[in-house]
């Protein structure tokens, strides 16, 4: 027994020494990595177990007890425990602030109420010149004062809202404009379907609890600030070149350079989504890095220290002009920490700078840990940094023989050719590393695969980089030489046109949809892929490859594990019609009927794509009124329509004609709905207005579905085969709004 105890004790001591050695090495190389670990140990339990407060308390406490086994006591206290304690205090502060939001208190947490409001526009996407860029339909504002009616005295509020500008308002808006608005406050709607985008939580994480629907808008005056001054500088600096561009190219260039994407066509956005390049329309680390590289070239004549301190200074103003969104702030903090350390002649690691940026942002905005944008930003950048060293080593080995060739024995042209070929290989390898991580995130969040994203991003990188020096240098000189503006606009038109053409061509072959995988396999794949980028020892790489292939089986062979058929019925929003979505992945069949609002259309599209559908076999609308079918056009962004069935309409019904034309151009079929002969849906109601029986007849599959509260009948091939299936009815209630979900087993 003593020998066993001694053996266990010896192994424990050796293992603890091994852990302590690895921990001390990690703490010396990446001190900010220890801080990021402490932050994650506090925030991750709340993200993984949102309803279990016991686990949220026990997991950080357990990890704090284990930390001294890995790190020294001083590292545990100052670099692990202290950042975790600070981010815990920050999360409590933000939760308290969200619960006591001034707008929420003013509205008494009601779903909707009328208001007379005074707001200040605080949205960086407002350009201030509607001839160049029109206003966004929804802009972030600060609600300064409000009253329930004109007879009441205005109350001070000072909270954030999202203003929905009425279509009738045509005046230009700029940052800092004070607006007097008559309208109503309304809470954002929760998701109608499972797996669809939760817009309410998205706005809540940005301290926005209500959408202000403006009915009458009057501009009073404008308040000036540093931000408004910088945005006015942006307008006066760029409008000379923007005014010479065609509208399509101008909108794309404004989104590419400054993140003002309100005028970009939906078809262009859809192409970028399908090719995995939508990130170029959001100012992120790519744009911030390109701008910093451009500034570094301009300041190449300055001493090293001055250059290192000035690059973050100029980049700060650029990020400020674009609205300081999360990816831009992450890149700015990372760039500043790296440049300041190098300027002071300290060794600095890019990975350590990334850990510092993550810790800094989580201290300020802990609620955004679960945001998809943050995952894309940090995980993709981390993959690029891990791959950078391996790519550099591999390329040096590939070009090693050229290092020993004397300078006189090889021509300058060939040396330049080899240099640029090496750079292109480096860019391509970086695009592949970024795609390896981002592809699984795209599959998880959007349900699509982007196989051509590596090639498209590889082609995009040099073109996007050229847009920055062409625009900023050309615009600067256009204020001195008038002909420079026309030349700059012509070159910028070619570059933006090239980007849109590449995305349009690649999007035609990138509409690949799979069911949404389980989150655990996404996490396993990301961790294993990052280990693969870092690991260079042969005996461990085989193990990493096995885990990588295993996770790929569960991620990209989801067709072998298809979800069960399901029907979702949404009723209550429009009393005349109920939205019905049928999803049967085993037959690759999707049916959608009477999605009469944009909310229903977008939610149904996300729901069907998450279940692996890339097309809607049958789309039905029992009405041709513009208010009922105008939102259906948004389905064509991400899905194909095989058959569109609507009542026969007059030649003057523009919306119905446009939908039929879209279906025809995509190779689909248009049919007319005759109500007497096509009983698609029949409802039998209880006294309590609950659905008792629903009958749907689907055309091209010859199936009839009858859904009862306790069972589901599935009749195939003209009623030859009958299967009776037990089903549980899931009822979701939201203020006169009912959602019934019937799973087909």
pLDDT digits over 553-565, tens only? 666 665 566 667 7
Single out the residue in 60, 76, 99 at which a domain terminates: 99
pLDDT digits over 291-337, tens only? 888 888 888 888 888 888 888 888 888 888 888 887 888 888 888 88
Residue 343: inside a domain, yes or no?
no
Angle in degrees, CA 642, 643, 644, rounded to 5:
130
Angle in degrees, CA 599, 605, 611, rounded to 5:
135
* Shared domain check, 61 and 210: no
Which pTM value belongs to this model? 0.81
Q: What is the DSSP secondary-structure string of 107-175?
A: TTT-SEEEEEEEEEE--TT--S-TTTSPPPSEEEEEEEEEESSTTSPPEEEEEEEEEE--TT--S---T
Residue 7: inside a domain, yes or no?
no
What helix, strand, coil percent values describe the chain, rounded to 5?
Answer: 55, 15, 25
Q: How far is it, in rounded angstroms, from Cα 279 to Cα 286? A: 9
* Shared domain check, 20 and 153: no
pLDDT digits over 96-138, tens only? 888 888 888 888 888 888 889 889 988 888 888 888 888 888 8
Does the pLDDT of residue 723 top 50, yes or no? no
* Shared domain check, 656 and 735: yes
Q: How far is it, in rounded angstroms, from Cα 631 to Cα 655? A: 10
* Shared domain check, 719 and 644: yes
* Shared domain check, 203 and 84: no
Residue 491: inside a domain, yes or no?
no
pLDDT digits over 575-617, tens only? 566 777 878 777 777 888 888 877 788 888 888 887 778 788 8
* Shared domain check, 594 and 734: yes
* Shared domain check, 130 and 62: no
Q: DSSP character for 81?
A: I
Q: Which residues contact 347 (CB under 8 A, 6 or more apart)?
A: 341
Containing domain of residue 34, as a range?
A: 14-99
Single out the residue in 223, 244, 275 at which a domain terminates: 223
* Shared domain check, 126 and 59: no
Residue 354: inside a domain, yes or no?
no
Helix/strand/coil for 542: helix
Does the pLDDT of residue 163 top 50, yes or no? yes
Q: How far is it, in rounded angstroms, from Cα 375 to Cα 368? A: 10
Residue 677 pLDDT: 44
Residue 552: inside a domain, yes or no?
no
* Shared domain check, 577 and 666: yes
* Shared domain check, 88 and 193: no
Q: Which residues contact 243 (CB under 8 A, 6 or more apart)?
A: 131, 132
Helix/strand/coil for 625: coil
Task: Count the domains in the chain.
Answer: 3
* Shared domain check, 130 and 85: no
Residue 129: inside a domain, yes or no?
yes
Residue 396 pLDDT: 76
Length of the chain: 745
pLDDT digits over 653-704, tens only? 778 888 888 888 877 877 776 554 444 444 443 333 444 455 555 444 444 5
Write a three-state SS string for 284-320: CHHHHHHHHHHHHHHCCCCCHHHHHHHHHHHHHHHHH
Q: How far is it, in rounded angstroms, from Cα 263 to Cα 248? A: 8
Tell me the two tokens of residue 318: 């650029």
Phi-psi map region of 744: left, alpha, beta (phi>0 left; psi -120 to 50 alpha): beta
Angle in degrees, CA 123, 263, 225, rounded to 5:
20
* Shared domain check, 109 and 191: yes
Residue 202: inside a domain, yes or no?
yes
687-722 CB burial, b ≥16 within 10 A, e <16: eeeebeebebebbebebebebbeeebebeeeeeeee
Tell me the two tokens of residue 710: 């306790």
């Amino acid at each position: 027994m003593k020998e066993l105890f001694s053996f266990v004790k010896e192994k424990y001591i050796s293992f603890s020494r091994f852990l302590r050695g690895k921990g001390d090495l990690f703490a010396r190389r990446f001190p900010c990595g220890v801080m990021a670990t402490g932050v994650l140990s506090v925030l991750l339990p709340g993200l993984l177990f949102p309803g279990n407060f016991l686990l949220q308390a026990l997991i950080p406490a357990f990890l704090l007890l284990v930390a001294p086994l890995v790190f020294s006591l001083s590292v545990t206290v100052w670099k692990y425990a202290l950042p975790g304690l600070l981010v815990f205090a920050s999360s409590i502060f933000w939760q308290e602030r969200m619960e006591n939001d001034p707008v929420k208190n003013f509205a008494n947490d009601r779903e909707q109420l009328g208001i007379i409001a005074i707001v200040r526009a605080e949205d960086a996407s407002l350009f201030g010149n509607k001839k160049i860029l029109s206003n966004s339909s929804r802009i972030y504002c600060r609600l300064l004062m409000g009253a329930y009616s004109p007879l009441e005295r205005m109350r001070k509020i000072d909270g954030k809202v999202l203003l929905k500008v009425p279509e009738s308002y045509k005046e230009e808006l700029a940052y800092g404009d004070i607006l007097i608005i008559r309208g109503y406050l309304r809470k954002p709607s929760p998701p109608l379907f499972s797996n669809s985008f939760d817009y309410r939580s998205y706005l809540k994480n940005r301290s926005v609890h209500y959408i202000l629907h403006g009915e009458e808008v009057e501009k009073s005056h404008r308040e000036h600030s540093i931000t408004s001054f910088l945005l006015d500088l942006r307008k006066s600096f760029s409008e000379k070149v923007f005014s010479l561009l065609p509208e399509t190219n101008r909108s794309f260039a404004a989104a590419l350079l400054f993140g003002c994407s309100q005028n970009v066509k939906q078809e262009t956005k859809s192409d970028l989504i399908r090719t995995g390049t939508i990130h170029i329309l959001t100012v992120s680390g790519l744009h911030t890095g390109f701008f910093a590289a451009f500034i570094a070239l301009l300041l190449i004549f300055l001493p090293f220290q001055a250059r290192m301190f000035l690059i973050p200074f100029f980049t700060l103003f650029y990020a400020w002009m674009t609205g300081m969104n999360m990816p831009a702030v992450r890149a700015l903090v990372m760039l500043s920490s790296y440049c300041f350390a190098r300027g002071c002649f300290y060794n600095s690691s890019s990975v350590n700078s990334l850990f510092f940026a993550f810790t800094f942002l989580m201290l300020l905005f802990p609620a955004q840990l679960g945001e998809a944008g943050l995952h894309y930003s940090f995980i993709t950048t981390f993959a690029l940094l891990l791959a950078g060293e391996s790519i550099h080593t591999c390329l040096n080995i590939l070009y090693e023989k050229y290092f020993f060739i004397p300078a006189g024995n090889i021509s300058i042209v060939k040396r330049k050719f080899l240099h640029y070929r090496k750079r292109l290989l480096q860019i391509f390898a970086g695009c592949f590393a970024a795609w390896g991580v981002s592809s699984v995130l795209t599959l998880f969040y959007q349900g699509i695969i982007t196989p051509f994203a590596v090639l498209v991003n590889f082609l995009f990188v040099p073109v996007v980089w050229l847009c920055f020096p062409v625009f900023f240098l050309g615009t600067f000189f256009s204020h001195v030489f008038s002909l420079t503006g026309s030349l700059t606009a012509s070159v910028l038109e070619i570059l933006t046109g090239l980007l849109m053409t590449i995305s349009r061509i690649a999007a035609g072959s990138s509409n690949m949809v799979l069911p949404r995988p389980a989150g655990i396999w996404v996490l396993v794949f990301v961790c294993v892929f990052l280990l693969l980028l870092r690991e260079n020892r042969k005996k461990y790489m085989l193990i990493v490859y096995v885990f990588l292939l295993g996770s790929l089986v569960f991620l990209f062979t989801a067709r072998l594990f298809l979800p069960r058929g399901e029907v979702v019925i949404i009723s209550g929003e429009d009393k005349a019609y109920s939205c019905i979505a049928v999803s049967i992945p085993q037959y690759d069949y999707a049916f959608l009927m009477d999605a009469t609002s944009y909310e229903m259309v977008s939610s149904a599209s996300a729901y069907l794509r998450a279940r692996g559908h890339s097309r809607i076999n049958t789309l039905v609308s029992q009405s041709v009124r513009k208010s009922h079918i105008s939102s259906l056009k948004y389905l064509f962004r991400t899905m194909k329509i095989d058959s569109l069935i609507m009542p026969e309409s007059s030649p003057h019904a523009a919306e119905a004609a446009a939908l039929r034309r879209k279906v025809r151009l995509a190779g689909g079929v248009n049919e007319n709905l005759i109500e007497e002969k096509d009983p698609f849906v029949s409802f039998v109601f209880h006294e309590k207005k609950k659905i008792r029986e629903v009958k749907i007849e689907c055309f091209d599959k010859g199936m009839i579905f009858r859904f009862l509260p306790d069972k589901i009948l599935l009749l195939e091939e003209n009623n030859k085969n009958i299967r009776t299936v037990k089903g549980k009815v899931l009822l979701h209630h939201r203020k006169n709004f009912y959602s019934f979900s019937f799973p087909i087993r």
